[in-house]
A and B are shown apart, each in its own frame.
Chain A
Amino acid sequence: MDDKHLSEKESLALITQMINKAKDSYHDTGIGAMMWGAVIAICSLVKLSEIQFGYNLPFDIYWLTLLAIIPQIFITIREKKERKVKSYDDRYMDYIWLAFGISIALLIFIVNVIFQNFHPMAVSFRELGGEPGFKLMEYITPLFLLLYGMPTFITGAACRFKPMLWGGLFCWACCIITLFTTFRVDLLLTALSAVMAWFIPGLIMEKEYRLYKKETQMNV
């Protein structure tokens, strides 16, 4: 480390520069965002086509989300190697997305337990000739969209990256709309939310990253 002494003004300028630099470098490859946007959109659309056209795949399409964790690990390792210094922003985003991942896992668990208790009741009710007041499945999508919006909105706001900020707000708007729509529409809105919140911002990030790389190569 260069042992040059900086004035207080220079120090503050350096810190601001570091923060701004970190903010730029956060939106590096965008590959992870694009991948998750595509995976969630594909899962929702395949599920929709299964319901619409009355067929069943030999496996649950949502297993694809678990498989996607493997390439995500490789993406993270590669990005960590490229980024030598971890800024405070990076850490902040890491914790938010880690907490999001844990919450999604918890949500799946909670919903499954509740569904297991609810389903037999709904079946017996139907056998007795009644119609349950609501279908629990209809309320699962809003809960997921609620969680999708959270880290996306915070990342967009903290990194001053408007496509993600709007993407997060879009997820929440869809979350409210899905309360009043059928499960098929819910799936369509989920696919659209994944594209708006992650896939499109990921594309923009990737474009910016390429430009950034080009500029740095020219400066060398």
Chain B
Amino acid sequence: MKDETFSPEQSLQLIKSMISKTRQSMSDNSIYFLVWGWLTFFACTGQFVLKHVLLYERHYLVWLVAVVGIVFTHYQGRKEARSAKVRTYIDENMGYLWLGMAICFFVLGLILTKLGWGFSVFPFYIMLYGLGTFVSGYFLRFRPFVIGGILAWVLAVSATFASYDYQMLFGAAAILISYIIPAYILRHRGSRENQ
């Protein structure tokens, strides 16, 4: 390591660079947000079309698209593990947040399996989407995520008043606003900073 000297201001700059490094690594990893975001969006709208428009009884089978996401995450994760990057302290905290979120989604899945999937499931999921993106946004100082999180909460409350069929569309809108659009903005900014 070069024994370069820096002032306290430069030291603070180092902390700032840790945030932007995490943002950059999130921008590099935005592919996960996008793949899962689009898959969920497709599943929500697909289920609506199958159930409400085509009156197909086994409309829930559309959620099997999640298998595509699991396979993709597995392969992409293995590929990235081979080119292991240095994890900053902020990366670690973001990791804990999304690990907590993943456990919550899984446990909520168990609750809803017992409760029945025909029940009002979407407001609960939308509320969790909001929580994850809101905290990520504040932590990364990335406003589109904060706004996306708040809008997801608004959609969670609004979805409660809608019938089950229309709740699917609220789910799709929440994914679009809180995951997909912010992920594209993050990706765009990341590629601009790389140039």
Contact = CB atoms under 8 A, between A and B. Distances in A.
Contacts of B157: 106, 109-110
A5 B5 contact: yes
B115 A114 contact: no
A8 B7 CA distance: 9
Contact of A19 (B89, B107, B111, B124): B89
Interface string A1-15: 111111111011011
Contacts of B96: 153-154, 157-158
Interface stretch (B41-49, B132-140, B175-183, B184-192): B132-140
A179 B10 CA distance: 53
B3 to A, nearest CB: 5
B111 A143 contact: yes
Q: Contact residue range for chain A?
A: 35 or more
Contacts of A102: 131, 134, 153
Contact of B124 (A92, A110, A175): A110
Contacts of B115: 134, 139
Interface in A85-113: 88-89, 91-92, 95-96, 99-100, 102-103, 106-107, 109-110, 113
B6 A6 contact: yes
A111 to B, nearest CB: 9
Given A113-B161, A150-B104, A7 B4 contact: yes
Contacts of A147: 104
A172 interface: yes
A179 B110 contact: yes
Nearest to A4: B8
B160 A113 contact: yes
B14 A114 contact: no
B2 interface: yes
B94 to A, nearest CB: 9
B58 interface: no
18 contacts: A3-B7, A8-B4, A11-B10, A14-B11, A96-B135, A99-B134, A103-B127, A103-B153, A110-B123, A113-B161, A134-B116, A139-B114, A142-B111, A149-B107, A150-B101, A150-B103, A157-B96, A179-B110
Given A149-B103, A150-B131, A175-B107, 14 more contacts: A3-B8, A7-B5, A8-B2, A11-B10, A92-B139, A96-B97, A99-B130, A99-B131, A103-B131, A106-B157, A110-B124, A154-B96, A157-B100, A158-B92
Interface of A: 1-9, 11-12, 14-15, 19, 88-89, 91-92, 95-96, 99-100, 102-103, 106-107, 109-110, 113-114, 133-134, 139, 142-143, 146-147, 149-151, 153-154, 157-158, 168, 172, 175-176, 179
Which 3 interchain pairs have the tightest Cβ spacing? A157-B96, A95-B138, A11-B11
